[in-house]
A and B are shown apart, each in its own frame.
Chain A
Amino acid sequence: ILNVEQSPQSLHVQEGDSTNFTCSFPSSNFYALHWYRWETAKSPEALFVMTLNGDEKKKGRISATLNTKEGYSYLYIKGSQPEDSATYLCASPSNFGNEKLTFGTGTRLTIIP
């Protein structure tokens, strides 16, 4: 069983500010790192799947980086908007083929208007 950790647990950010949070995972036997955005009462939305050390992916104002050697990924949100309020989950598979995801407990982000 992998140990995937996320910090902080919760975060309040003023609208317009930028923010970032962390996902850490075992650096050995790494296969991939998934980021999801989960709004209350909705399905978790897939944001990124990252596989290579040094990967950097972007989707609008959200971007993520990956360091597989030290076992962490950062998610950045630039110019936070109220609609960014959600829980952000990261997950890593324990085997090749991206099955059996182990999830972190998430970072709950609240944007203050």
Chain B
Amino acid sequence: GAVVSQHPSRVICKSGTSVKIECRSLDFQATTMFWYRQFPKQSLMLMATSNEGSKATYEQGVEKDKFLINHASLTLSTLTVTSAHPEDSSFYICSAKRQVEQFFGPGTRLTVL
């Protein structure tokens, strides 16, 4: 149990477009999901905490208007990178909390041209 999927696994987009990434808990319900970002040779950095039915909580330095998070159900959270620019190119990965553990999706590689 505790499987988390993420879609798409890879996306290439033009500068100025928006990209939506989905994170789903497949076999459990998750009130809380998390979005992380990883730049090359760096650790996973928490971007925001997504809570079902309420607004996401963003970490310091993360623009909430640029990284829109929606957690409309207990099994789905979405991250939309709005007006993407090359500096947003990164690896984005989500996790879903179950009890004291976090279970991760496989991540999304975003490349903005």
- A interface residues (Cβ-Cβ under 8 A, vs B): 4, 32, 34, 36, 41-44, 46, 49, 89, 91, 98-106
A-B interface contact total, Cβ < 8 Å: 49
Q: Are B100 and A49 in contact (CB under 8 A)?
A: yes
- Report B35-91 residues with CB < 8 Å from chain A CB: 36, 41-46, 49
Q: Are B100 and A105 in contact (CB under 8 A)?
A: no
- B interface residues (Cβ-Cβ under 8 A, vs A): 2, 4, 32, 34, 36, 41-46, 49, 93, 97, 100-107
Closest to B41 in A: A105
Q: Are A99 and B32 in contact (CB under 8 A)?
A: yes
Secondary structure type dominating chain B contacts: strand
Closest approach, in angstroms, between the C-beta of B107 and any C-beta of chain A?
8
Secondary structure type dominating chain A contacts: loop
Q: Are B41 and A44 in contact (CB under 8 A)?
A: no
Q: Are B42 and A101 in contact (CB under 8 A)?
A: no
Q: Are A103 and B43 in contact (CB under 8 A)?
A: yes
Tell me, in angstroms, the Cα distance from A22 to B32 when the chains sit together: 29
